[in-house]
Amino acid sequence: MLDRRVADFAQAIAGIGDGATILLGGFGGAGTPLGLVAAVHAAGLKDLTVIANNGGSAEPDLSLWLAAGQVRKLVCSYPKSKLNTTASFSELYLAGKIELELVPQGTLVERIRCGGAGLGGFYTPVGAGTALAEGKETRMIDGREHVLEKPIRADVALLRARQADRLGNLTYNMAARNFAPVMATAAELVVAEVEEFVEPGAIDPEAVVTPGIFVDRVVLKGAPR
């Protein structure tokens, strides 16, 4: 019987190795899977490429990995934070200790969707004529300059959700949804930290946001580390 539920965070992140590319859900604090982040931190994984909207804050979020030197490269729309405290992204970046690929937020989520949907790339007007299009192929479409953007896929997606059933069907909580449903489509291993396990059928089939086909493991927020 298919059962995506795992009992603790060690099982939730099992198999993720050094050098992994990780899609990390969340916008600001909303939707960041803090338990999974802590588990990856505790596991001491190194040389990670992280794709996330933000670059970490004062919370025990991506900042944990940054401070521990676990991240080689960040693909991100907004790496700055007023809340940065210790060993922040800014420090690492200015010291040349981390690579940054800056992507407009809408292009970032669209590139992840593109990867998850099995497409090869897309043309967007966003960024045309700006520094963020430098080195990218462009093309005039209907008289407007467009930039060719490539799909993003990753080894792992770490997400936060509200409810999950054993099949991996997910709902989210308000604006914590943000990148998660798209990230869930674009990684080999998709893990969600959830507030609650429910029985199959408890989530209205019309209100499932991420169907379980996309999800590999679900772990309770309060599960043992």
Partner 1 sequence: MSTPLTREQLARRIARAIPDGAFVNLGIGLPDQIPDHIPAGREIFLHSENGILNMGPRPPAGEENWDLINAGKQPVTLRTGGSFFDSSLSFAMMRGGHLDISVLGAFQVSERGDLANWSTGIGEGVPAVGGAMDLAVGAREIWVMMEHTSRHGHARIVRDCTYPLTARGVVKRIFSNLAVIAVTADGLEVEEILPGLSLDALRAQTEAPLRPGAMRPLEG
Characterize 197-212 residue by residue with b for buried, 16 or more Cβ atoms within 10 angstroms of its Cβ, and e for exposed.
eeeeeebeeeeebbeb
Does residue 199 touch its own copies according to CB under 8 A?
no
d(CA 14, CA 148): 36
Query: Which of 21, 29, 35 is closest to 220 using CA atoms?
Result: 35
Nearer to its own copies, 97 or 139 (CB): 139
Residues 143 to 162: which contact its own copies by CB under 8 A? 144, 146
- What's the Cα-to-Cα distance from 8 to each of 75, 132, 170, 189, 206, rounded to whole Å? 28, 41, 18, 16, 30
Does residue 65 touch partner 1 according to CB under 8 A?
no
Q: Which listed range, 6-14, 16-24, 163-171, 216-224, lies at the site for partner 1 (CB under 8 A)?
A: 163-171
- What's the Cα-to-Cα distance from 82 to each of 62, 88, 176, rounded to whole Å? 15, 10, 20
User: Binder to its own copies among 19, 125, 200, 201 (CB under 8 A)?
Assistant: 125
User: Binder to partner 1 among 10, 43, 132, 148 (CB under 8 A)?
Assistant: 132
Does residue 127 touch partner 1 according to CB under 8 A?
yes
* Number of neighbours of residue 218 by Cβ within 10 angstroms: 28
Residues 187 to 216: which contact partner 1 by CB under 8 A? 200-201, 203, 205-206, 208-209, 211-214
d(CA 220, CA 209): 18
d(CA 66, CA 72): 9
Nearer to its own copies, 44 or 143 (CB): 143
Residue 183 and residue 160 in contact, taking contact as beta carbons nearer than 8 Å = no
Does residue 139 touch its own copies according to CB under 8 A?
yes
Partner from partner 1, its own copies, none binding residue 120, C-beta < 5-8 Å depending on class: its own copies
Query: Which of 78, 49, 40 is closest to 191 using CA atoms?
Result: 40
d(CA 61, CA 146): 35
Nearer to partner 1, 24 or 109 (CB): 109
Does residue 85 touch partner 1 according to CB under 8 A?
no
Does residue 178 touch its own copies according to CB under 8 A?
no
Interface ranges with partner 1 (CB under 8 A): 1-2, 27-31, 53, 55, 77-80, 89-90, 93-94, 100, 102-107, 109-110, 113, 115-119, 124-132, 145, 165-167, 169, 172-182, 185-186, 200-201, 203, 205-206, 208-209, 211-214
